[in-house]
Structure 1
Amino acid sequence: MSKTAPLRPGGPEVDRAPATLAGLLRAWLPGQRWFAGKDRPVADLDVLSTTELFPGCLHLLVRASHTPLPAPGGTPPPGDCYQLLLGVGEHVSPRPPRAVIGRVREGPLAGLTVYDALQDPRSAGLLLERLRHPGAAGPLRFEADPKVSVPAGLVPRLLDAEQSNSSLVYGDRFILKVFRRIQPGVNPDLELPEALAAQGCTRVPAPVAWFRTAEPGAATLGVLQPFLPDASDGWALALRALAAGGEFTTEAYELGQATADVHLALAAAFPTDAGGGEDRGAAAMTGRLEAAAHSVPALRPFVPGLRTAFDALAGGAAGPPVQRVHGDLHLGQVLRAGRDWFVIDFEGEPSRPLAERRSAQSPVRDIAGMLRSFDYAARQRRPWRPEWARRCRDAYCAGYAARSGWDPRTEHALLRAYETDRAVYEVLYEARHRPDWLPVPMAAIERLAVRGG
């Protein structure tokens, strides 16, 4: 095959290419910020599917298996499936050096350089063209809302923020989130915004186009939504207020209202259950605590006190019905444009199974996530201003109560349980990905381990 010839869809070049790429990918994957297995050696890499999206660009689904770490009871989790878009060519000078994966030494791609296609403007532009023209590409399906027209020729740019996926902005008009960790089933980041749009909820940008694998068990691969170019995320706004010595209570109150608006619309769109749900059980939270303590020794002295935080759930503490929720709500998941708050990124915590993220849960989970985020923001300044975080927490809960008719502060034990569960998740995340941040959730752990925390 000539080095300049395109791979033929379904041809032997495409079929044989994965075997020559596995070695390069095995070395490259652990260095990507969205790779979940940084604390576990990659034992094997299997290419599950290969599709040529357009000449010079391959779409791959790969499964990374890890050397299992010793765990108390249970079976090591299976490998994670990742989505990759790879450019293949002779020249890589237009792309940043960090995009380069390596040069292929043998097989049908021998002598060619492989790179991350999302960092290549040409490939990113052609990906948008696929979304503009719904249809099939091998086992992939591209779909769109027929009521929305996406112009051609929008200039792409890859967002460089730390996140578990990759996002491309096109002409400051649309944003495409390309999911990296893939599980069978519809992703909540497509499912929930679609349902909210049908309910007339304007707090969430509605999906414009998306792509997925074919049935059965279709997995969502990416979602295109309107981009809010003049918006600022809540995290940046909170830090700006702290740096200026200012308050954030008005914004927090209105953010509480926005959260309640989303919860009310989700309750109308999906069934609720006043009898509770599995994720609300103390056993599930206790299991997550024990698993995290096994991985993070600093957590172990606090385990007995933290278990008491889950007693309220075990005893059937009162609270709102379980329903569909955001699942990973914090200041980085909300945008403010003018005086309006918008909620984004409904994927939930990517480390949790998709079935769990799509299940009904207590809305207190979202509330607790936002309250923890105020604490994270307050701890970015020296000296720490705990009173700033407390005022934001109160304002947020008051705004939520004003819109929903239910005040989270009236159920202190319930809120403490969900804050504890969230802080345990944060400890595990920071220990794996940002060790320098570990003192932030550990300070909350010390407080929450006390019964009145």
Structure 2
Amino acid sequence: MSDTSRPRAVTTPVPPTPAAGYRPLVEAALPLLRDWLPRQRWFAGKGHPITTITPLAITLLPGPTGLARATGTLLHLLLRVEQRHSGGGAPVVDVYQLLLGAHPDGLPGLHGAAVPKDAVIGRITSGPHDGLVTYDAAYDPALTRRLLALLTAPQRLGPLRFLTLGARLPAAAPGRVSTAEQSNTSIIYDGGSAAEAAILKLFRRVSPGLNPDLELSLALGRAGSSRIPAPLAWFESELPDAADEAPATLGVLTHFLRDAEDGWELALRQIHLLDADPARVGNFAAESFLLGRATADVHLALARSLPVTVLRRAEVESMAETMALRLDAACLAVPALGKHREALRQIFRDLAAAARDGLRLRAQRVHGDLHLGQVLRSPRGWVLLDFEGEPAKSLEERRQPQPAVRDVAGILRSFDYAAAHARLADPAAAAAWSARNREAFCAGYAATGAEDPTLDPVLLRAFETDKAVYEVVYEARHRPDWVVIPLAACARLATTPLTPTAHSTWAAPGSTPPTSTRHTSTEA
């Protein structure tokens, strides 16, 4: 996919900084980083030894004159990390972004804010930097304030380019890391008015090209969508190992909705009411209906703003085969999934058969990793966040058009996650909660005029199964205690007969049951 949608802006060069003088400090920290990196949630290569770490770029982010010792050193690093897998073959290479803080006075309580233990990389114990404490400076408000200041105006600092859409930013606000669980790091700047509050998402694992989180946010912003936090600024850099490719997006600054509530937390709070009163099974369904509408609004805006294509027979068959291959790999990685392998493979065969019978799918840009933790409920309605897509996929894969039902399946799986995670005393009540909210979400989605996801149960089931298989592998690697949730879903999908699903008649209180227009093409 070309980068014709890449935003352009004029930048003002900033005089070069003496970053080269800090290379000995970075090299002294490399042995500490070798031990520290694999412990981070955002590190992709868990379970495989690091063979080499190479600094690709070192940029000093300047602070106030005369306050260097008080506020410490802040270096922006791009690190090339090479790992060898036990199966042999070519080494796996990733590039990671790190804000490296260094301070001579040690921890804790650095700059008036406690730095979490996991953020401390370690103390250098030899050479000219003996005694210097290094740490992940994303957790240091005094240092992340420097990064925010650079985002207030278009400019260039060494290899880094900072670009802005011209909105007023809280340049003096201290930053705090969001506690939400995610594959990157988000820093909240909330020192001023609600209108000026902002959140910076730092991409930890980076690659050349426009990150879809920025690309889709800009497209939706141009379309006037109210279903996303407004994008404000971003920064990027060419990667020295990929000089002929597009710059890598390093971070995106958006408006911070301080009065919004995380969709996952809201759902869990509502589910816990079921233990006290099982009759309240539908108490979240009105919100699910509205979330369905919001999701469809985003899909329709993306379809108006970015290219849409049609997947014909060969492409749908190839998609089904790719899903089957992911299943095979998942069964090898998580043997407990193997007993359902044949039944789950049949679900993907059904999708391929539907393609042979004439199924053609519209494909467009979508969220790519939608779940209740990626949405916020504000007083003005639901908004969607984090359009980066599944972190395990390449940037090129995440920027490909896909059937919109992929996002629908993600939310449906998230309802199952919420019901299972709440550990209700009555499992039947949990299943009823999930089913009710699945129905409500699909009805809300169809109420906008978007295609009703329930009209093609073969398609929806294939995408839901593919998502559950992905979750099995993800949880086994990152949250083993949670793997039982997607394994239970795979068991349900493998053993429950597929029955035709009529158009949903669920409606929010006071509303009219929606009528949907089917968008699936039947052209040859």
- 2:229 is matched with which residue: 174, 184, 205? 205
CA contact (8 A) 1:206 1:226 kept: yes
Alignment of 1:344-355 (within 5 A): 344-355=385-396
Q: Which residue of 1 aligns with 2:446?
A: 401
State the Cα distance separating 1:107 from its structure 2 match: 5.0
Could you report, residue by residue, the CA deviation over 1:219-253 in whole angstroms, capped at 9, with x for unpaired residues?
00000000111111111111111111232110111
1:237 aligns with 2:266: yes
1:200 match: secondary structure = coil
- 1:273 is matched with which residue: 309, 314, 319? 309
Alignment of 1:110-121 (within 5 A): 110-121=130-141
- 1:381 is matched with which residue: 410, 420, 423? 423
- 1:170 is matched with which residue: 189, 197, 212? 189
CA distance in 1, matches of 2:17, 2:128: 14
Partner amino acid for 1:46?
T
CA distance in 2, matches of 1:97, 1:394: 42
1:79 match: secondary structure = strand
Could you report, residue by residue, the CA deviation over 1:183-202 in whole angstroms, capped at 9, with x for unpaired residues?
11111110001001111111
1:422 match: secondary structure = helix
Q: Which runs of 5+ in 1 are unaligned?
A: 1-7
- 1:283 is matched with which residue: 295, 299, 321? 321
* Max Rg structure: 2
CA distance in 1, matches of 2:44, 2:203: 13
Partner amino acid for 1:152?
A
1:342 aligns with 2:388: no
How much identity, in percent, do the aligned residues show?
49
CA distance in 1, matches of 2:449, 2:471: 28
Structure 1 stretch 223-232 or stretch 37-46: which is displaced more?
37-46
CA distance in 2, matches of 1:304, 1:268: 40
CA distance in 1, matches of 2:127, 2:225: 52
Partner amino acid for 1:253?
F
Q: Which residue of 1 aligns with 2:75?
A: 58
CA change 1:12–1:378 in 2 (3 A) is closer
Q: Which residue of 2 aligns with 1:302?
A: 340
Partner amino acid for 2:185?
S
CA contact (8 A) 1:308 1:451 kept: no
Q: Which residue of 2 aligns with 1:360?
A: 401
Q: Superposition RMSD on alpha carbons, in Å?
A: 2.0
Q: Which residue of 2 aligns with 1:149?
A: 168
State the Cα distance separating 1:65 from its structure 2 match: 2.3
CA distance in 1, matches of 2:495, 2:98: 45
1:126 aligns with 2:146: yes
CA change 1:87–1:334 in 2 (3 A) is same
Partner amino acid for 1:381?
R
Could you report, residue by residue, the CA deviation over 1:406-453 in whole angstroms, capped at 9, with x for unpaired residues?
211110010110001000110001100111111100001101123625
Structure 1 stretch 93-102 or stretch 137-146: which is displaced more?
93-102
Aligned residue pairs: how many? 442
Q: Which runs of 5+ in 2 are unaligned?
A: 1-15, 64-72, 275-279, 499-524
Partner amino acid for 1:353?
S
Partner amino acid for 1:13?
G
1:103 aligns with 2:145: no
CA distance in 2, matches of 1:159, 1:279: 41
1:82 aligns with 2:123: no
Q: Normalised by the size of structure 2, how large is the TM-score?
A: 0.81
Q: Which residue of 1 aligns with 2:480?
A: 435
2:311 match: secondary structure = coil
CA distance in 2, matches of 1:77, 1:394: 46
Q: Normalised by the size of structure 1, how large is the TM-score?
A: 0.93
CA distance in 1, matches of 2:79, 2:140: 21
Runs of 4 or more off by more than 6 Å in structure 1? Answer: none
Q: Which residue of 2 aligns with 1:3?
A: none
Could you report, residue by residue, the CA deviation over 1:354-409 in whole angstroms, capped at 9, with x for unpaired residues?
10000000101000000000011111232321011011001111111111342111
Q: Which residue of 2 aligns with 1:4?
A: none
Q: Which residue of 2 aligns with 1:324?
A: 365
CA distance in 2, matches of 1:319, 1:237: 37
